[in-house]
Amino acid sequence: MTSGKVFLVGAGPGDPGLMTVRGLQLLRAADVVVYDYLVNPVLLDEAPPQAQRIFVGKQAGTHSIAQCEINEVLINYALQGYQVVRLKGGDPFVFGRGGEEAEALANTGIAIEFVPGVSSAVAVPAYAGIPLTHRNYASSFAVVTGHEAIKSKSSVDWAKLATAVDTVVILMGLHQLPSIVAQLMAHGRAPGTPVAVIEQGTTPRQKTVIGTLTDIVGKTAALKAPALIVVGTVVSLTDKLDWFAGTGPAGTTYFSSAEDAGAERS
């Protein structure tokens, strides 16, 4: 039997043009594509017509497929000799549980290859006209999960983070926004610090709301996942650099289950 292989591939943040050349090459040669809710469905058309397409994201109203079940799917197809593309939103190793899948595959001895993707952490701010660093305003940035901001023992040390870097990018933080801004201000960030919340970034449905740590919560009640938060002086540059807003046709859903609150979980 020919041996299969699993390619852990980043699909980019939503705009299909942001998938890498290597990723697209592999997708076009795949026998099986196993994909998540953050993958733009348009990309699935790139796989050969006969390729199996398996959705393992969270279905509306149900629980996510357990990580061990996803691992099993990948392993089983690879053991049958298939070329399996495991397609994940953004970059597989940025809050994508790609590390866990990679470990599970490595434990079985199955051949693996990693193809990084353009992470929403950098691409979504860029499409909103926000450079994460800028010679005059920011020489450091951090990317953190906001998912656990309400837990007393959050895995993110908000007290240290608040003033440790100039720009903070928070993924999976929309529902935790009130706790996040409270933590940042309690630990030394000025209340007037600019904040951007960007929904469905890099797609024609991108929506950006700008405020400060004090008023952003009130302004973003209607936003839905997937959304990303940027905190820092660089956010002000969007006034001048917001090149993408309103450039695409409206009315299309760009993610397999974008309205699903599960998009806020890793």
Residues 36-55 touching ligand SAM, rule: CB under 6 A, are 38
- Specify the residue, 4 or 10, whose C-beta has the smaller distance to ligand SAM: 10
Write out the chain in H/E/C secondary structure: CCCCEEEEEECECCCHHHCCHHHHHHHHCCCEEEECCCCCHHHHHHCCCCCEEEECCCCCCCCCCCHHHHHHHHHHHHHCCCEEEEEECECCCCCCCHHHHHHHHHHHCCEEEEECCCCHHHHHHHHCCCCCCECCCECCEEEEECCCCCCCCCCCCHHHHHHHCCEEEEECCHHHHHHHHHHHHHCCCCCCCEEEEEECCCCCCCEEEEEECCCHHHHCCCCCCCEEEEECHHHHHHHHHCCCCCCCCCCCCCCCCCCCHHHHCC
Query: How many residues appear in the chain?
Result: 266
160 given a catalytic annotation: no
Q: Choose the stretch contacting ligand SAM; rule: CB under 6 A; options: 48-56, 69-77, 108-116, 120-128.
A: 120-128
- Specify the residue, 77 or 255, whose C-beta has the smaller distance to ligand SAM: 255
Q: Site for ligand SAM (CB under 6 A): which residue of 27, 138, 196, 227?
A: 227
- Specify the residue, 108 or 151, whose C-beta has the smaller distance to ligand SAM: 151
58 given a catalytic annotation: yes
Q: Choose the stretch contacting ligand SAM; rule: CB under 6 A; options: 19-27, 101-109, 153-161, 226-234.
A: 226-234
Structure tokens at 76: 């089983």
How far is it, in rounded angstroms, from Cα 53 to Cα 30? 10
Spell out the residues 6+ positions from residue 257 whose beta carbon is closer than 8 angstroms to its own: 37, 57, 58, 59, 60, 263
Q: Determine, following the binding rule CB under 6 A, whether residue 13 of this chain makes contact with ligand SAM.
A: yes
Q: Which residue is nearest to ligand SAM (CB)?
A: 90
Q: How far is the CB of 204 from ligand SAM (least distance, A)?
A: 11
Largest CA distance in the chain: 63
Q: How far is the CB of 220 from ligand SAM (least distance, A)?
A: 13
Q: Which is the catalytic residue, given 36, 91, 166, 260? A: 36
Binding mask 88-107 for ligand SAM (x = CB under 6 A): xxxx--xxx-----------
How far is it, in rounded angstroms, from Cα 154 to Cα 152? 6
Q: How far is the CB of 67 from ligand SAM (least distance, A)?
A: 12
Residues 138-167 touching ligand SAM, rule: CB under 6 A, are none
Residues 172-201 touching ligand SAM, rule: CB under 6 A, are 172, 198, 200-201
How many residues line the site for ligand SAM (CB under 6 A)?
Answer: 27
Q: Which is the catalytic residue, given 58, 88, 166, 260? A: 58
Q: Determine, following the binding rule CB under 6 A, whether residue 120 of this chain makes contact with ligand SAM.
A: yes
- Specify the residue, 124 or 231, whose C-beta has the smaller distance to ligand SAM: 124
Active-site positions read 36, 58
Interacting residues toward ligand SAM by CB under 6 A: 13-14, 38, 88-91, 94-96, 119-121, 124, 171-172, 198, 200-202, 225-228, 263-264, 266
